[in-house]
Amino acid sequence: MTKVAGLDLSLALSRAQFIQRVREAYYRDEDEAANRRRALTRVPLHVLAVTSEIYPLVKTGGLADVTGALPKALATYGIETHTLIPGYPSILALARLHPPLMEFDDLLGERATLRHLEIDGISLFVLDAPTLYDRPGGPYVDENGYDHPDNWKRFAVLSLAGAEIAAGALPGWRPDLVHTHDWQSALTSVYLRQMGSPVPVVLTIHNLAFQGQYAADLLPRIGLPPEAYSVDSMEYFGDISYLKGGLMTADHITVVSPTYAREILSPTFGMGLDGVLNTRIDRLQGIVNGIDNEVWNPSTDPYLPFRFDMKSLRNKKNNKALLLERFNLQPGDGPLFSAVTRVTWQKGMDMLAEVADEIFYRGGRLIVLGQGDHAIEDALKATAARFPGKMAVSVGYNEPTAHLIHGGSDSIIQPSRFEPCGLTQLYAMRYGCVPVVSRTGGLSETIIDANDAALSARAATGFQFHPVRPEGLRQALRRAADAYQDKRKWARLQLQAMRADYSWDRSAESYAQVYGRLTEQRFQATH
């Protein structure tokens, strides 16, 4: 058994035994799911995840929820994950209570300390590099809302540290596999291949729209050779793209829903990378995100004044009354709609500003919680000003308020023009908050439209609309408002939504299968 600064890094089985267990797990008949699960729980697999944010320590969106929940779900399969995260101020206060694991003398000219921290069942490697991460603002923007000008270096250093750890820089421990997330850590596999390391890498794309695109003259400053500037590597329309580099060097690419995996192969949704993705289609897979049922549970949620479950759904009305009061909205018998989202064109918030009046004409109220595009924020505020007491806009994000909104609203609105997966609609369903969503990406897979057939079969969980245009959203809002008037129908929709199972169980098994296949392939290639 090996210990590094109090960190248990033991390897329980030999590689040969490991491969035998993997074969037991993955080459059974598909109907033997229970047997596969039992076999998987015996596989000792050590994974290094590299990410720019993780719940509950730092969160700007769904990425943090996924990176915080997936390691705990994978532990069921005997997979031990250590997650490398930048040492932001909120994390350093805890991490510096523990002794260093190791020192990095030169990460693109920066010195850094690696520390270990465990919180809420998550094992973290914290990269303590004060000149890069210990500063005001958020992970990507400063206190004034502008991008940190050295983001190109901040996340190249994160990736390089991940690559060095994966290649064996940490005494006594080396992972079997690396899992990177989005452009901020996508260079990890680029650095690993430059080092000649064969460790398998899985890259998960949470949103293809964010690509880490920078001027090509930065290439030597991030420690990469001139040949990395090529069509087959990081060159991207005259610049370099961190995400493209990851796509070209990762062993497997996952996106957060099967529908999104198909959509991004087209120019419409490929964001300029559809050609690259089509060349790597044999390594591309869609796996729907799950949610942490312990964090998002209306019966135990500490942020809800009135907790409830399917048998006590009436308590939701008490949360609604408090929510209306908190946002200075007039009480009434109509539905309370909400949107908890980034305020951007992608999320369709400009369309909501345009058609929100449909809600008020039908006796409803609307709360918007989020931030993003200032012009769209202003448009939403202008709509609220025209309808005082009926609409409230809160710029920013607050976790307790988000929970209360789900726990008190009747319906959540997600009119995204494209949506890789979406987690908000999954949280909302768990809280009996019926979603109104566009038919795209993961939204189309996780919501069953309340059409006549689905209503008759008691399978509907929300309202979809297509095409994704203002009039389509307006019609969906009408349908939802009309359904709300039939209390029995609405209660059935709420209960059907609450029964939907979007825990991490199924998705974690899919990731465990990917991990096992890649590590077996590496073993076979080296023996």
- CA quadruple 210, 213, 218, 219: dihedral sign: positive
Rounded CA-CA distance 95/344 in Å is: 34
- Give 372's contacts (C-beta < 8 A, 6+ positions apart): 342, 343, 344, 347, 349
Rounded CA-CA distance 515/176 in Å is: 9
Higher pLDDT, 441 or 250: 250
Query: What residues make up the domain containing 266?
Result: 3-290+505-526
Amino acid identity, residue 169? A
Are 233 and 333 in a shared domain? Answer: no
Are 343 and 448 in a shared domain? Answer: yes
Are 73 and 125 in a shared domain? Answer: yes
Question: At CA 166, angle to CA 151 and CA 129, rounded to 5?
Answer: 35
Rounded CA-CA distance 183/155 in Å is: 8
Tell me: pLDDT of 42 over 50: no
- Kindly state whether residue 152 falls inside one of the protein's structural domains: yes
Mean pLDDT of the chain: 91
Alpha-carbon separation of residue 81 from 172, 176, 187, 226, 338 (angstroms): 16, 10, 19, 34, 35
Are 479 and 513 in a shared domain? Answer: no
Higher pLDDT, 12 or 206: 206
Tell me: pLDDT of 12 over 50: no
- Kindly state whether residue 465 falls inside one of the protein's structural domains: yes
Q: What is the mean pLDDT of residues 490-498?
A: 97
Which tokens hold the place of 52? 């720019």
pLDDT for position 410: 98
Burial 351-375 (b: 16+ CB within 10 A, else e): bbbbbbbbbbebebbbbbbbbbbee
Q: What is the pLDDT of residues 141-175, one digit of tens each?
A: 999 889 999 999 999 999 999 999 999 999 999 99
Instruction: Please state the domain count of the chain.
Output: 2
Are 334 and 460 in a shared domain? Answer: yes
Residue 45: what are its φ and ψ, rounded to 5°? -130, 130
* Residues 284, 420 contacting (CB under 8 angstroms): no
Tell me: pLDDT of 399 over 50: yes
Rounded CA-CA distance 497/503 in Å is: 13
Classify strands 3-4 and 7-8 as parallel, antiparallel or unpaired: antiparallel
Whole-number percent of the chain with pLDDT over 90: 84
Are 415 and 270 in a shared domain? Answer: no
Tell me: pLDDT of 16 over 60: no
Are 327 and 419 in a shared domain? Answer: yes
Question: What is the DSSP annotation of 383-439?
Answer: HHHHSTTTEEEEES--HHHHHHHHHH-SEEEE--SS-SS-SHHHHHHHTT-EEEEES
Rounded CA-CA distance 349/414 in Å is: 8
Whole-number percent of the chain with pLDDT over 70: 92
Are 468 and 515 in a shared domain? Answer: no
- Give 130's contacts (C-beta < 8 A, 6+ positions apart): 87, 92
Are 468 and 522 in a shared domain? Answer: no
Higher pLDDT, 94 or 6: 94
Residue 284: what are its φ and ψ, rounded to 5°? -100, 135
Are 194 and 68 in a shared domain? Answer: yes
Question: Helix, strand, or coil here: 506?
Answer: helix
Tell me: pLDDT of 1 over 70: no
- Kindly state whether residue 299 falls inside one of the protein's structural domains: no
43 confidence band (pLDDT: 50, 70, 90): low
pLDDT for position 15: 44
Q: What is the mean pLDDT of residues 15-34?
A: 45
pLDDT for position 44: 81
Tell me: pLDDT of 40 over 90: no
Give the CATH number for residue 379: 3.40.50.2000
- Kindly state whether residue 301 falls inside one of the protein's structural domains: no
- Kindly state whether residue 165 falls inside one of the protein's structural domains: yes
Q: What is the pLDDT of residues 326-362, one digit of tens each?
A: 999 999 999 999 999 999 999 999 999 999 999 999 9
pLDDT for position 466: 95
Q: What is the mean pLDDT of residues 220-234?
A: 96
- Give 385's contacts (C-beta < 8 A, 6+ positions apart): none
Q: Where are the alpha helices (DSSP H) in 77-212?
A: 89-95, 130-133, 151-166, 182-195
Rounded CA-CA distance 446/424 in Å is: 11
Tell me: pLDDT of 10 over 50: no
Rounded CA-CA distance 445/457 in Å is: 18
Are 162 and 275 in a shared domain? Answer: yes
- Kindly state whether residue 405 falls inside one of the protein's structural domains: yes
- Kindly state whether residue 305 falls inside one of the protein's structural domains: no
pTM exceeds 0.85 for this model: no
79 confidence band (pLDDT: 50, 70, 90): very high
Are 514 and 494 in a shared domain? Answer: no
- Kindly state whether residue 450 falls inside one of the protein's structural domains: yes
The owner of tokens 């008949």 is 29
Rounded CA-CA distance 405/76 in Å is: 31
